[in-house]
Amino acid sequence: MQKASIVGTGSCLPDRVLSNRDLELMVETSDEWITSRTGIHTRRIAGKGEQNFQLASKAAKSALESAGVSAADLDFILVATMSPHMIMPSCACFVQAEIGADKAFAFDINAACSGFLFALDLAAKYIASTPEMKILVIGSETLSARVNWQDRNTCILFGDGAGACVLESSDNGGILDSILHSDGKLWNLLYMDSPASKNPELLDPERKGCFIQMSGRDVFKYAVRAMEDVVVQLLERQNISINDIDLLIPHQANVRILGKLMERLGVAQEKVFINVNKYGNTSAASVPIALDEASREGRLQKGDLVLFCSFGGGFTWGSMLLRW
């Protein structure tokens, strides 16, 4: 069966940097608290001209350039997001128009922070059945618009950004295996209710429903256990050990979650890519931004075994193994 290979990556971060010191002026918090509990120092916040689809389109152009693929040759654009520019049309349709991918079909998926992995898995299955397809997969978020800036439990965690990759079929390497899970029974531990809407019947008077609501401690506990379990499941199914992995690129939620995950998996820190300190949790964008940085920093060599894992609202979680 033809495998899907990542032939180019790109990312785009908004210009504005929001530091922990800036947050000290907005809510009752401290740089020391945020750093020690999350490892986050700064995050990026979208401004004018940096709407979700605009960040996504810039990341897309960069991925297309690195792949040497023209937008006009794309067959399919898939955007993972939970903070789209509009509910309808999809962010993917806006990206299609922005980059000029006239022959592609386009739609969004929402699997919260696991969205990029779920999207990659779907794209890989399209390529398995139609190997001539060229597919653009993007994870893109502007969560700053969906965060309550008076809620110190959540506003310190999230950031905006987009990451993208181009997929083509390949005879060797590419996406080797993936395992995805969901548990909708736990939806109320991490959720975002009705989107801001001009319809007064849908608009929450206090707009509380429009913001991310989170039971932080529970999410923390489930995230560590779920990511550990799904990584072990995948390694066992592939009959390999964590030592065979050249680079682990996990969802960038929080340094403490990643620390616990590394400890439980027994993986050395130098084999784990971490940039949550700079960008905070960018949800569906975190893995593709990290992948693009890892690639541009020379952390990935041809033939390397790369492992992704993620966890997010739903709950949703998964892991994916690929040969670079």
- Which residues form the catalytic set? 113, 251, 281
What whole-number distance in Å separates Cα of residue 122 and Cα of residue 116? 10
Residue type, 82: M
Contact string 124-163 vs ligand UT7 (x = CB under 6 A): ----------------------------xx--x-------
Which residues touch 229 (CB under 8 Å, ≥6 apart)?
none
Pick between residue 38 and residue 169 the one whose CB is nearest to ligand UT7: 38
Subset of 76-95 contacting ligand UT7 (CB under 6 A): none
Residue type, 204: D
Segment contacting ligand UT7 (CB under 6 A): 32-40, 161-169, 195-203, 258-266?
32-40
Residue nearest to ligand UT7 (CB): 216
**Residue of 2, 16, 33, 176 interacting with ligand UT7 (CB under 6 A):** 33
Helix (H) or strand (E) holding 78: strand 76-80
Which residues touch 164 (CB under 8 Å, ≥6 apart)?
9, 10, 11, 56, 59, 60, 62, 63, 136, 137, 138, 139, 140, 288, 292
**Residue of 216, 229, 233, 259 interacting with ligand UT7 (CB under 6 A):** 216
Subset of 264-323 contacting ligand UT7 (CB under 6 A): 281, 311-312
Count of C-beta atoms within a 10 Å radius of residue 85: 20
User: How do strand 305-312 and strand 76-80 relate by DSSP bridges?
Assistant: unpaired
Segment contacting ligand UT7 (CB under 6 A): 31-39, 118-126, 196-204, 236-244?
31-39
What whole-number distance in Å separates Cα of residue 250 and Cα of residue 255? 11
Subset of 223-252 contacting ligand UT7 (CB under 6 A): 223
The sign of the dihedral angle between the CA atoms of 76, 82, 85, 88 is: positive
For residue 115, state whether it binds ligand UT7 (rule: CB under 6 A): no
**Residue of 6, 55, 109, 113 interacting with ligand UT7 (CB under 6 A):** 113
User: How do strand 105-109 and strand 160-170 relate by DSSP bridges?
Assistant: unpaired
In the three-class reduction of DSSP (H, G, I as helix; E, B as strand; rest coil), residue 234 is classed as helix
**Residue of 2, 29, 182, 213 interacting with ligand UT7 (CB under 6 A):** 29
Contact set with ligand UT7 (CB under 6 A)? 29, 33-34, 37-38, 113, 152-153, 156, 214, 216-217, 219-220, 223, 253-254, 257, 281, 311-312
